[in-house]
Amino acid sequence: MGWEDELFALFDDLEDQASALHAADRLAEVADRSRAEYQQVTLASRLMASIGTAVTLGLRGVGPVSGTVERVADGWLLLSAGEHDWVVNAAAVTTVEGASVRSVPELAWSPLTRLGLASALRRIAEAGEECVVHLADGGRHDGVLRRVGADFCELVEGQDRRTVLIAFTALAAAQSRA
């Protein structure tokens, strides 16, 4: 092997080393960018990607509730659990098992998803059906939602038909009785 062949072999070796270093740097850069981008992913966007998926939600004051994610909107989600539907206050969700590994950025959400928790509770009130309102502190109220305000709902319960006002901040979920 002549000196020219040795020189070209040296250049090839240096080029291979430079390519390997560049690839390692690129992997580190991609990992850094990936971590930085993931900071923008919200729990709601992961739940939005989980529509139609069976999940188990840990709910403050309620515990685990399993069902299929039917709808996700601003501050709430609808979970179908067999015979019962749950309107869940997103602020009461502590854990989610079984969610999609993907996410749907809020920019891609339908304008209907901007309807808040009050809108979902108004639908229950309009139906006039019995429900169970679970509180984040573990309490619960059985009755019929009558009216829904900006940040609270009115529930009529018991045979004496007493009215209880429930602040949204205290509400974990409203469960259908059907």
- Read off the CATH number of the domain in which 162 is found: 2.30.30.600
Task: Tell me whether residue 17 is in a domain.
Answer: no
Contact 92, 54 (CB under 8 A): no
Q: Is residue 34 part of a domain?
A: no
Name residues of the chain where pLDDT drops below 50.
none
User: In whole angstroms, how far apart are CA 49 and each of 44, 89, 91, 97?
Assistant: 9, 18, 18, 13
Domain contains 87: yes
Residue-level pLDDT at 31: 56
The answer to whether residue 77 is domain-embedded is yes
User: Looking at the domain assignment, is residue 138 inside a domain?
Assistant: yes
Query: Quick check: is 1 in a domain?
Result: no
Nearest to 174 by CA among 135, 147, 119, 138: 135
Q: Report if residue 30 sits inside a domain.
A: no
Give the domain range for residue 159: 43-176
| Residue 123 located in a structural domain | yes
Task: Report the C-alpha gap between 87 and 119 in whole angstroms.
Answer: 11
Number of domains in the chain: 1
pLDDT for the residue 30: 59
Alpha carbons 169 and 135: distance in angstroms, whole number:
9
pLDDT of amino acid 106: 82
For residue 15, what pLDDT is reported? Answer: 79
The bridge status of strand 84-89 relative to strand 93-97 is unpaired
